[in-house]
Structure 1
């Protein structure tokens, strides 16, 4: 039995992660939780001022208190990102006199998204994620669209290894240093080799991950290693060209670019595992109407020449019935699990299979 679990934003909400439409509100809540004196007005957050200024009729002023924005109708960050992508392609400012350096603002949006999600999740993983991973077998595969590493860390805790379906660089000097440290903790080299000596469920992350680092010059990727014993490895520069490394996630946009060599290879693997799947579970996942690239790869992978070989599809979400029509218009018959049983924290394969 080959099973594929497709995880969307709904699977990280229990750990405090905001879904896309709530990221700006979550940022404000985090600022208020910090009780920072002197940063209570919109003018104290220049990025927020520029972000809200894309709404031509907004009535927010520089002296507006940020707590007064909690009930405000914020712009969709994906809209804003896409506006600036279009402006960049046209080589013109989006709004004259507002923020004319499109690339800089695009980078600021990405940093804003990453930092807000990272600061929202206070734990390495959760009991919910650990329980989910314990129900998996090495024959199972995960397609995780979340940037966070909650599931990744649960897999590391359970298996002492992780398989992203790709090879990452680990500089020799840093690897040697880490190995020496590991001897003091009686840890296996598997934590640092990631050599698949122990079979694990495959986890594919088509939108990137917070623990991936990228060299824009030679397209090399590196993996941040964070261990249960507190040993961390964060490479600073590329092995080949000594260029500084950066976090890598697919832009938070309606016009996602999957042409990066590593991401393109991940999508090839997505099609491969879907083409062999007997069952596909969509958990906490909503497929955007305009995300045609994702729909293309899913339909390509799930399609079968013989109808009797078509995999069973399950849509699992508290409000799955609201998404059923859309999923069936794309894939055909889909079984739904909703209500309390549709919540990720209540995920139970036995209940689903008995449904």
Structure 2
């Protein structure tokens, strides 16, 4: 029986990635007006939130801003600014800061994949993540394993070994044409090039990013995300064990909860769930709240392991 390892924001945080509410603070601290999107986003934050980016300490979450833009886009209503321009700017400000913060950093993800490979467990693992960054993608490729994204394999290694990686909200290295469905996948080394305006070779339409805020996932008709959804749904019927790493089970991820709960009911047997989300300084109260949230949702046993993702990555075989 296979095991799902579900990676949330806490797994990326262990490598130094900023959390959602830290992304824009880090971007405006590290980049200047020379950056392609700096001035556009500076005007956006001042007009929309009355935030002066040069001295602001707090920003809205990435997910909230994308949600506003997707709402306007879906309703075909104006939102003062050019929606596509702001959306691309928001996405690539995140890409740039993550690329800067995480370049050459995938220690714990690399360690986890390397250990699973040495233990002969790669074919027993399915990876699902809500993260947009390329930490886990790079870790898989660096261990001479190909990535199965659920709609297309990314081959960089001359072998037949591949590992399912379902990025249910999209990825920073994906772009697609919404006219003819042409698709681009970049490696981490060429991530910055995706901030350019690529035109499709087939129809000359501009490529678009595939990044979706959780609250809008259920409304997306994108061909690639639908294929991922199909594979995630199918995978839930193939496993009994789910290990959640760095994932707090947020309310916004309602669609994830829906497909997991539906699978649990139709399988007529509960999942065995383990939570890996501890870190130094985490309060007992916060642990209990998080644990109770999982216990209330799942019908079966929920084990809250008192270890961090860093510790888990060294010996993942002990928890599978």
Is the shorter-chain TM-score for this pair beyond 0.5, marking a shared fold? yes
CA distance in 1, matches of 2:66, 2:188: 31
Q: Against the structure 1 CA distance between its residues 87 and 164, is the aligned structure 2 distance closer, same or farther, given a 3 Å change threshold?
A: closer
**Pair 1:315 & 2:275 matched:** yes
Question: For residue 175 of structure 2, what is the aligned residue in structure 1?
Answer: 213
Structure whose CA Rg is larger: 1
Structure 2 gap segments, 5+ residues each: none
Does 295-304 or 83-92 show the bigger shift? 83-92
Q: CA deviation at 1:222?
A: 2.8
CA distance in 1, matches of 2:68, 2:149: 32
Q: CA deviation at 1:275?
A: 1.1
The answer to which structure, 1 or 2, has the higher relative contact order (CA under 8 A, 6+ apart) is 2
After superposition, the C-alpha distances for 1:166-188 in whole angstroms (9 at most, x for unaligned) are 2269xxxxxxxxxxxxxxxxxxx
Q: CA deviation at 1:281?
A: 0.4
| Secondary structure of the structure 2 residue equivalent to 1:336 | strand
After superposition, the C-alpha distances for 1:227-265 in whole angstroms (9 at most, x for unaligned) are 8xx9xx98955454354434x332336333432111011
Select 2:152's aligned residue among 154, 167, 188: 167
Question: For residue 295 of structure 1, what is the aligned residue in structure 2?
Answer: 257
After superposition, the C-alpha distances for 1:82-135 in whole angstroms (9 at most, x for unaligned) are 2333344455444xxxx3433433333223333332332222x52211110023
Select 1:108's aligned residue among 83, 89, 101: 89
Q: Aligned-residue CA RMSD in angstroms?
A: 3.2
Does 22-31 or 6-15 show the bigger shift? 22-31
Q: Is this contact kept in 2: 1:327–1:334, CA < 8 A?
A: yes
Q: Is this contact kept in 1: 2:175–2:207, CA < 8 A?
A: yes
CA distance in 2, matches of 1:291, 1:237: 33
| Secondary structure of the structure 1 residue equivalent to 2:30 | helix
1:135-146, aligned counterparts within 5 Å? 135-136=115-116, 137=121, 138-146=123-131
| Secondary structure of the structure 2 residue equivalent to 1:254 | helix
Q: Against the structure 1 CA distance between its residues 168 and 216, is the aligned structure 2 distance closer, same or farther, given a 3 Å change threshold?
A: farther
Does 5-14 or 291-300 show the bigger shift? 291-300
Question: For residue 48 of structure 2, what is the aligned residue in structure 1?
Answer: 54
Question: For residue 245 of structure 2, what is the aligned residue in structure 1?
Answer: 283
**Pair 1:250 & 2:211 matched:** yes
Q: Against the structure 1 CA distance between its residues 312 and 80, is the aligned structure 2 distance closer, same or farther, given a 3 Å change threshold?
A: same
Q: Against the structure 1 CA distance between its residues 115 and 313, is the aligned structure 2 distance closer, same or farther, given a 3 Å change threshold?
A: same
After superposition, the C-alpha distances for 1:141-199 in whole angstroms (9 at most, x for unaligned) are 10022112111111112134222232269xxxxxxxxxxxxxxxxxxxx6277xxx523
CA distance in 1, matches of 2:109, 2:61: 28
Q: Is this contact kept in 1: 2:145–2:161, CA < 8 A?
A: no
Q: CA deviation at 1:26?
A: 1.6
CA distance in 1, matches of 2:78, 2:206: 28
Higher strand share: 2
**Pair 1:334 & 2:302 matched:** yes
Q: Is this contact kept in 1: 2:127–2:166, CA < 8 A?
A: yes
Q: Against the structure 1 CA distance between its residues 214 and 351, is the aligned structure 2 distance closer, same or farther, given a 3 Å change threshold?
A: same
**Pair 1:132 & 2:136 matched:** no
Question: For residue 65 of structure 2, what is the aligned residue in structure 1?
Answer: 80
Q: CA deviation at 1:12?
A: 1.0
Q: Against the structure 1 CA distance between its residues 22 and 274, is the aligned structure 2 distance closer, same or farther, given a 3 Å change threshold?
A: same
Question: For residue 7 of structure 1, what is the aligned residue in structure 2?
Answer: 7
Number of positions where the alignment pairs a residue of Structure 1 with one of Structure 2? 298
Q: TM-score, structure 1 length as denominator?
A: 0.72
Q: CA deviation at 1:224?
A: 2.1
Q: Is this contact kept in 1: 2:15–2:107, CA < 8 A?
A: no
CA distance in 1, matches of 2:60, 2:256: 24
Q: Is this contact kept in 2: 1:141–1:202, CA < 8 A?
A: yes
**Pair 1:267 & 2:229 matched:** yes
